């Protein structure tokens, strides 16, 4: 049987896991052929998906990969500042603005570089 419900698992992925588990447990006869394995088409009918989608997911499982969705990877460049450094930079810019000195881009850049270098010390 498939593992407990995972919100990212589609019906085809669940069906592929069922077939894969059944094939792993299958008995072999003397000629080396599998006996009493579950039919991919039968599982496709039970789960209401196409047999080709199950076969595609089976290829992934046989290659040693997981069908479980991994956490979303961070897209783009890594953040230059931590959340605390970002908050400090924002507070500095607001402080300058309230004092009547709008922050110049070079001041913001220099302050950000200063905050990043503090962590390295």
Query: How do the residues of the chain divide into helix, strand and coil, expressed in percent and rounded to 5?
Result: 55, 5, 40
Query: What's the pLDDT score for residue 46?
Result: 92
**pLDDT tens by residue, 15-58:** 888 888 887 777 665 666 666 678 889 999 999 999 898 898 88
Block residue for tokens 């089976």? 58
Query: What's the pLDDT score for residue 62?
Result: 81
If one compares 116 and 32, the residue with the highest pLDDT of the two is 116
What's the residue count for the chain? 121
- CA-based nearest residue to 67, from 18, 33, 28: 18
Q: From CA 86, how far away is CA 89, in angstroms rounded? A: 5
Q: From CA 116, how far away is CA 121, in angstroms rounded? A: 10
């Amino acid at each position: 049987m498939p593992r407990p419900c995972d919100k990212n698992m589609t019906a085809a992925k669940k069906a592929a896991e069922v077939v894969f588990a059944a094939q792993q447990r299958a008995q072999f006869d003397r000629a080396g052929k599998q006996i009493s394995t579950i039919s991919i088409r039968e599982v496709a009918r039970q789960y209401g998906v196409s047999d080709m989608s199950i076969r595609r997911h089976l290829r992934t499982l046989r290659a040693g990969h997981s069908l479980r969705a991994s956490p979303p990877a961070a897209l783009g460049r890594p953040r230059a500042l931590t959340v605390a450094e970002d908050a400090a930079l924002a507070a500095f810019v607001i402080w300058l603005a309230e004092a009547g000195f709008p922050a110049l881009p070079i001041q913001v850049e220099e302050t950000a570089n200063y905050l990043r270098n503090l962590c390295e010390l």
